[in-house]
């Protein structure tokens, strides 16, 4: 059974930075695409960033140039470095693992950016 555990969320002032981590309990981590999603109250969940098994990266337009996704296959962990945070980045951030057939989700971590 795949489990994903996010950490690193919290309260930060606008302009600040946070680094989210998502640790996966999976037999072979490197075989799976990974993504970070977020959901703000009243909004639909949206893709923030994704990284494939061969390192191809995609960002939403709203975070390009501010957020960086990376993965460490040896540690079975995906990261999201978030810089220049804005109040509109406030949301629950969740990581997703995609096997090519199934999606698995973490519980999420709250990120709150104060103005």
CA separation for the pair 83, 75 (Å, rounded) = 23
Under the phi-then-psi rule, with left for phi > 0, alpha for psi from -120 to 50, and beta for the rest, what region is 8?
Answer: left
Give the per-residue pLDDT at 30. 87
Give the per-residue pLDDT at 76. 96
The residue ranges of the chain whose pLDDT is under 70 are none
Give the per-residue pLDDT at 97. 96
Give the per-residue pLDDT at 77. 97
Give the per-residue pLDDT at 26. 87
CA separation for the pair 96, 80 (Å, rounded) = 12
């Amino acid at each position: 059974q795949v489990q994903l555990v996010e950490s690193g969320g919290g309260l930060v002032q606008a302009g600040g930075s946070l680094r989210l981590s998502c640790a996966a309990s999976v037999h072979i981590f490197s075989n799976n695409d990974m993504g970070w999603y977020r959901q703000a109250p009243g909004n639909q969940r949206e893709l923030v960033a994704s990284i494939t098994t061969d390192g191809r990266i995609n960002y939403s337009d709203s975070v390009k140039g501010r957020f960086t996704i990376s993965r460490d296959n040896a540690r079975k962990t995906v990261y999201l470095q978030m810089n220049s945070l804005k109040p509109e980045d406030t949301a629950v951030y969740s990581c997703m693992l995609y096997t090519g057939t199934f999606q698995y989700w973490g519980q999420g971590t709250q990120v709150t950016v104060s103005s």
